[in-house]
Homo-oligomer: A and B are copies of this chain.
């Protein structure tokens, strides 16, 4: 299965396309959609939606996954993040992909095996699970938002795999 993981952010939205099979995961593409804080939110939402649509058109994932929005201390940023998340959910669903949603805890549990793992531990595990070795791969996993998107994609792939093993999914 080919999964698109998305890590939403107003300034930086990470994405990762991961192929998952019984013998493991493989990174197809990953990166960060960066939008300028100088632009109005509406324009930034357009760039993020367009960026995600481009990724889906180029790499044709069949599934998508996104983190649940956390209730951060800063209400204003959380609300902006929810705008971005709405747009990402729309882009993905309009492209016909089914969407999995996971809490940050679930993602860390799935990838690191520990719900309170640090960002750096997530990056390390993602690098190992995807066997990232080339300079390009190491450069992209060094970007926190891209690494988080990889983690979300792996979490969803693991979830689907175990569901299928249990015969509850199609």
Flag A65-104 by CB within 8 Å of B: 1 or 0 each.
0000101000100111011111101101110000100000
Query: Is A105 close to B, CB under 8 A?
Result: no
Q: Among B41, B69, B93, point to the contact of A46 (Cβ < 8 A).
A: B93
Number of A residues near B (Cβ < 8 Å) is 25
Is the CB of A169 closer than 8 A to any CB of chain B?
no
CA distance A43 to B80 in the complex (A): 21
Does A157 sit at the interface, judged by CB under 8 A? no
A39 to nearest B CB, angstroms? 11
Quick one: which of A83-131 are within 8 Å of B by CB?
Answer: 83-87, 89-90, 92-94, 99
Q: Does A6 contact B (CB under 8 A)?
A: no
Which of B49, B75, B85, B92 interacts with A83 by CB under 8 Å?
Answer: B85
CB distance from A75 to the nearest CB of B (A): 6
